[in-house]
Amino acid sequence: MKRKYLYASIVIMAALLFFKLFFEFFIGLERKHKYVPHIDTVFAKDFTPEKWSSVGVGDTITAVHAKLGHPLDSSYCKIPSAEPNYRYYEEYYSTDGKCEYGDFAWQSFAVYYNRELKVIALDSIWCYD
């Protein structure tokens, strides 16, 4: 009788483990990886999250590139609530898609510049898309 309960508990535990892995890796319940948080984050060539705190508001684009390296992508954007034709420049140092076997959350790192190409804002958020 004890052996029956042991086998039943092993089967139940194996089934629970299977469903946990199935839902995490194949269904796409996207969240941070428990042991490797940046498992699905692609970083720019010379960028590391540790270097992020070395950049501050007021830094020039040249200083940012010297500290973080060159970004993965950049673009000009218009601020709708600001004066007409006010645009800012943004650079991205990370993106999604590094992990090949699952879809996990990734951390976005973006730097925003004004017309004089001085940092006006820094943005680092976790994305669950």
Each residue's pLDDT expressed in tens, for the chain with a length of 129 residues = 677 777 878 888 888 887 777 766 655 567 888 889 999 999 999 999 999 999 999 999 999 999 999 999 999 887 665 555 567 899 999 999 998 887 889 999 999 998 889 999 999 999 987
**Sign of CA pseudo-dihedral 51, 52, 55, 61:** positive
Query: Residue 40, by phi and psi: left (phi above 0), alpha (psi -120 to 50) or beta?
Result: alpha
Looking at the structure, do residues 5 and 35 belong to the same domain, yes or no?
no
Say if residue 88 is in the same domain as residue 98.
yes
Let me know whether 63 and 95 are in one domain.
Answer: yes
Read off the pTM.
0.73
Report strand pairing: 41-43 vs 94-96.
Answer: antiparallel
Same domain, 83 and 20: no
Report the CATH number that the domain containing residue 37 is assigned in CATH.
Answer: 3.30.1450
Residues 23 and 46 in one domain: no
Question: Do residues 54 and 95 both lie within one domain?
Answer: yes
Do 67 and 23 lie in one domain? The reply is: no
Please give the helix or strand (H or E) that residue 88 lies within, else none.
strand 87-92
Tell me the helix, strand and coil percentages in the chain, rounded to 5.
30, 30, 40
pLDDT at 55: 97
Cα 103 from Cα 31, distance rounded (Å): 8
| Residue type at 79 in one-letter notation | I
Q: Are residues 9 and 23 in the same domain?
A: yes
pLDDT of residue 13: 86
pLDDT at 8: 78
Same domain? 82 vs 50:
yes
**The total number of structural domains that make up the chain:** 2
Q: 7 and 52 share a domain?
A: no
Provide the domain limits for residue 68: 31-127
Positive or negative torsion for Cα 63, 67, 73, 79: negative
Q: How far apart are CA 80 and CA 66, in angstroms?
A: 31
Radius of gyration of the chain (CA): 22
Q: Identify the pLDDT of residue 49.
A: 95
